[in-house]
Structure 1
Amino acid sequence: MFERFTDRARQVVRGAVSASEQMGHRHVGTEHLLLGMLAGDGGVAHTVLNRAGVRAEEVKVQIERFLGQDAEALEAIGIDLEAVKAKIEETFGPGAMDALDRPPRRGWFRRRAVGEGHRPFTPRAKKVLELSLREALALKNNYIGTEHLLLGLIREGKGLAAKILADTGLDLVELREQTIAAVPRK
């Protein structure tokens, strides 16, 4: 499927991985794909999102707000995450929490080889990539461009990126129509 991606669509995916790294996240989600579309010159998706008033800085703030809610929710019921981490390290030794970052064991005492800095795509992000292919086929395009990635993200509709777009007041149906109207015709 990636062989059908345009250079700009590949830049979006690389930008998503980079955004995940910069934000210190262990995954690449729909929110990171959205940031990838907003980074630099993301092609049609970048243009459509900018016209709609979507800005990377605001998206980053919303991502941090949503992904930081777990710690805040635990604090609200009296659980201090830092105290829990300290107790775990006191009980099991320094670096005990690092074991959670290691890949799962495979076979006899071996670990699955994962490249340094590897960040897996979430199921929703994978679905967006799959839907981008379907969107390209539906539009009778033989390539997957940034416009198809945006259409896939909108069509998936349940990820953090879609929530952020909807929370900014955007109508996803209207954004979809604007994106389709911006698709280059041959």
Structure 2
Amino acid sequence: MNERFSDRARHALALANLEAGKLRHTYLAPGHIMLGLIAEGKSVATETLRLFDVDLEKVRSQVRSEMGEGEAASGRIGARTQTQETKEVIARAIDEARKFGHRYVGTEHITLGLLAQEDSLPSRILRAQGVRIDSLREKTLAALRSEIDPSHDLVHSRHGHFEWMHQAELAKAFRSPKFWHTLILAVDSANRLGAGEIEQIHLLLALIRDEGTTVATLLREKGVTPDWVRERLLASNGAE
């Protein structure tokens, strides 16, 4: 079966990596994934949690408090090692997608992966807020059956069949430090420009900002610098 991550699932995982950076952690744990899902804000995962009157800000605060700060450089950009628990969460999410015959892995599949670990930090914090994990799992499964996340439609309509990648192939990218480094720079570029989504222009900025790489050198030789791109982008937006 071919799978790929939905736009929102990929965004949530990128945000999880950012959350790990804020906490000065060199690893990516289930707690960071929970923070990423909450930060994404518009996913099936967060909408399902709201059905249980979960205070997402309180969850965010408790996760950060229990995980504490690490000793890595503040805001460190780049890949983070997935803990064994995180690998199990992702594997379970993929397995849930397969069970439903879905060709994507969405935020709700990731949520099921998190809930499968009943002794994990996210599960413990949710239980502390009065959430019954089995009930939350049922609501998440109901959301999967209805496929109410509009980002899934984008998965099917915006990408050609060449982009339906088997998980083993997709994993190559997620194991690459260079991939994570570029992705986080793209997220940072989007945030600086006040963009709600990561677009191709942000990936271009990320490639240029990654000084010392062959791509950045070639682009700069042609006069394509971050400032040049930003000026063109602002001029284009102003013309509209």
Q: What TM-score bracket applies, with the shorter chain setting the length?
A: 0.5 to 0.7
User: What are the equivalent positions in structure 2 for 1:10-29 lying under 5 Å apart?
Assistant: 10-29=10-29
Distance 1:133 1:36, change over 3 A: same
Dislocated runs of 4+, deviation >4 Å? none
Measure, in 1, the Cα distance between the counterparts of 2:90 and 2:42. 16
Structure 1 length-normalised TM: 0.67
Q: Indicate conservation of the 8 Å contact 1:26/1:119, yes or no.
A: yes
% of aligned pairs identical?
A: 33
Query: Which of 85, 96, 103 is the aligned partner of 1:142?
Result: 103
Higher relative contact order (CA 8 A, sep 6+): 1
| Structure 1 pair 25–42 and aligned structure 2 pair: CA distance change class (3 A) | farther
The answer to whether 1:130 aligns with 2:111 is no
Which runs of 5 or more residues in structure 2 are unaligned? 148-240
Q: Report the Cα offset of residue 23 of structure 1.
A: 2.2
Q: C-alpha displacement at 1:159, in angstroms?
A: 1.7
CA deviations 1:140-163 (Å, max 9, x no partner) are 212111110001111122221111
Query: TM-score, length-normalised on structure 2?
Result: 0.53
User: How far apart are the structure 2 equivalents of 1:122 and 1:162?
Assistant: 17
Query: What is the CA–CA distance in structure 1 between the aligned matches of 2:91 and 2:46, rounded to whole Å?
Result: 20
Structure 1: 5+ residue stretches without partners? 69-97, 102-114
Aligned-residue offset at 1:25: 2.3
Tell whether 2:139 aligns with 1:178: yes
Matched residue count: 144
- Contact 1:19–1:32 under 8 Å retained in 2: yes
Aligned residue number for residue 66 of structure 2: 66
Does the 8 A contact of 1:166 with 1:172 survive in 2? yes
1:132–1:152 CA contact under 8 A, matched in 2: yes
Go from structure 1 to structure 2 and tell me whether the alpha carbon gap of 1:12 and 1:57 turns closer, same or farther (over 3 Å shift).
Answer: same
Q: CA deviation at 1:42?
A: 4.1
Instruction: Go from structure 1 to structure 2 and tell me whether the alpha carbon gap of 1:139 and 1:27 turns closer, same or farther (over 3 Å shift).
Output: same
Deviations along 1:65-118, whole A, 9 cap, x unmatched?
A: 3234xxxxxxxxxxxxxxxxxxxxxxxxxxxxx8xx6xxxxxxxxxxxxx9533
Residue aligning to 1:31: 31
Matches within 5 A, 1:1-186: 4-68=4-68, 116-185=77-146
